Structure 1
Amino acid sequence: MKGDMNSSWDMDDEYEKFIRRMNPPRVVIDNEACKNATVIRVDSANKHGILLEVVQILTDLNLIITKAYISSDGGWFMDVFNVTDRDGNKLIDEGILEYIRQSLGTDSNFIPSMRRSVGVEQSTDYTSIELTGTDRPGLLSEVSAVLTNLKCNVVNAEVWTHNTRAAAVMHVTDEATGSAITDPDRLSKIKELLCNVLKGNNKTRGAKTVVSVGSTHTERRLHQMMFDDRDYERSDHVAMDDTLRPNVTVDNWYDKDYSVVTVRCKDRPKLLFDTVCTLTDMQYVVFHANIDAESPEAYQEYYIRHVDGSPVNSEAERQRVIQCLEAAIERRVSEGLKLELCTNDRVGLLSDVTRIFRENSLSVTRAEVTTRGGKAINTFYVRDAAGNPVDVKTIDSIRQAIGQTILQVKGDSDHSKSPPQESPIRFLFGGLFKSRSLYNFGLVRQYS
């Protein structure tokens, strides 16, 4: 049976390659059409998931998509994006422009099969660990202690928490060799011990640990993991201010047999990726879309059908789409004071710093962990264990313990007092910061 499945996948891949040769993608990059953004147009044969692949490439380059027009009705796919760099400037670096042409153009392989884009790709550089469970104070300290005791070094990781749930993708290496851990017995022990930590005393919600030698697209996996963990289901005891939620609506346009999804919320980087990722993984096809993020509030309008060709056809389905999109938007929004750490990487750094955070009753709501050239470069957001802004004296104490020049405050106390944009209940699954123009783009209906 497994052989038959592999044969089917191979045949699908060969068919995709044939279609691609017959209809090669075309990429046009224009710095003259718009006065304040670079315009990128992509034309290609259409297939499910292609929109996400394109958005993913642009997002991974840290580009800001300020406007977009998307149309994929029929067998052809056409996207137009207005993009800038993080500073709001047009793209003029020829290296970046050529990378975009190669990644999206004729010679690219940016339309891989969905199984490859969401699955495990073999790597000898590190071992990938995926964790999901109930967030609680001290959890990351326990996880990091287990990894340190097992002679594992965390080189890259990203941690999200939302609605009392936590998810992490961590890349670890063997302390002795600096490469991936491949011994089956050792991998089994890592999985067993981490799963025990994640379970804790919680008997009502499960925990999951997946250990593999390979890599994934970290942010997409985090969305998938939290979706599978049903973080979009709000517990009765979790209070949520409705004024802080994204405004998501789903209505049917019966004349055209589409469901129209609209999203209004505060704009931020990667918002388009988060919503498109969720719609794709929920098996919806985006036929048309208008995106406008030039003002502080972003507006997104999607015309969708399920992959079976039907629009949203029940109230329960409509509510589920709304809840899942709300959760996808909320997961990445960062509460609290922004801190950045830069220091020489070493084994045990994660465990040591996490312990300092725990001892000072800090809760990290989101963290990005990277290691570059032997340096640990990290960004994380902190609040106290009750979800309130962190006292200045606490931050001073932590900076003295870790190092004033090593740990920098990138937000101020007044900023940390702003209302949270996500779930109010968050605990310490934190401290993990070691290692890593068409129609003038008018928002009008053009599908009548």
Structure 2
Amino acid sequence: MASMVAMTGLPPSMGLHCTLASRRHASLATLPAYLAQDVAAKSQLEAASLQIKTSTRRVPQQAVSDAASLSQTDVETFESDEDEVLPTPVVIIDQDSDPDATVVELSFGNRLGALLDTMQALKELGLNVERSRITVEGSVTCKRFSITRADNGRKIEDPELLEAIRLTIINNMIEYHPESSSLLAMGNAFGIQAPTELDVDIATHIRITDEGPHESLLYVETADRPGLLREIVKVITEINVAFRSGEFDTEGLVAKAKFHVSYRGAALSKPMKQVLTNCFQYYLRRPETNVDSY
């Protein structure tokens, strides 16, 4: 047999494999049909088992949102899978859809679990979760729930509480989905991996359009940071502009706010639009200064 291997130019191990394979096929020909099928099926199973055992690729585990915290193995799995494109985490606080409740939408691709931890955190803020539903659009699963104040059963109007709701949801997402920390501004303080910083001057956009004679629509897009919703409301109220909360979206590192505003019961005039735009350009783009430096 060695001489035959040498003549064919094959390595000894490959020649032995070919010889054994030919013997097996020859033996199958001499067996009854039903036994030959069993032996052939067994050979296919052995080959599949060998292929699985020799594969070294690790499949990333999906994070779940439940009471159990993620293990270090899960975190390492997420960090090691560099080829996977992470979805953009989105948190939407909607004040327009429901006149009796504040609507919150949360999505992170199809990674979100039952959100029991988030529901519990909102209850600790003195809120009730009235309704909840799940919608699926392509590969994105969106969790939508309506919340009210536990003390009076009404929708949330206080900007401080709205910002607390937003930050609570984002903190929970980072805790139970640590791979999202590099995609959220809050990940810089609480996440495992800090996000890439955005240039605030580039990220900030302000647009004001009229919605009839009595109201204008203010649109603000800027780099997200803790307390941003509270800052935007403060800028509006300090120049005596009345507002009705519209929608505040957190999309990864970018925050997008839509507010219905008016001045003395009418839509904003051109000079008032310019004043409001200038205020936002100053407050949202100013560099952070340490008070102790003065």
Compare CA radii of gyration and give the structure with the larger one. 2
Q: TM-score normalised by the shorter chain: which range applies?
A: 0.3 to 0.5
More helix as a share of residues: 2
The higher relative CO (CA closer than 8 Å, separation ≥ 6) is in 1
More strand as a share of residues: 1
- TM-score under structure 2 length normalisation: 0.38
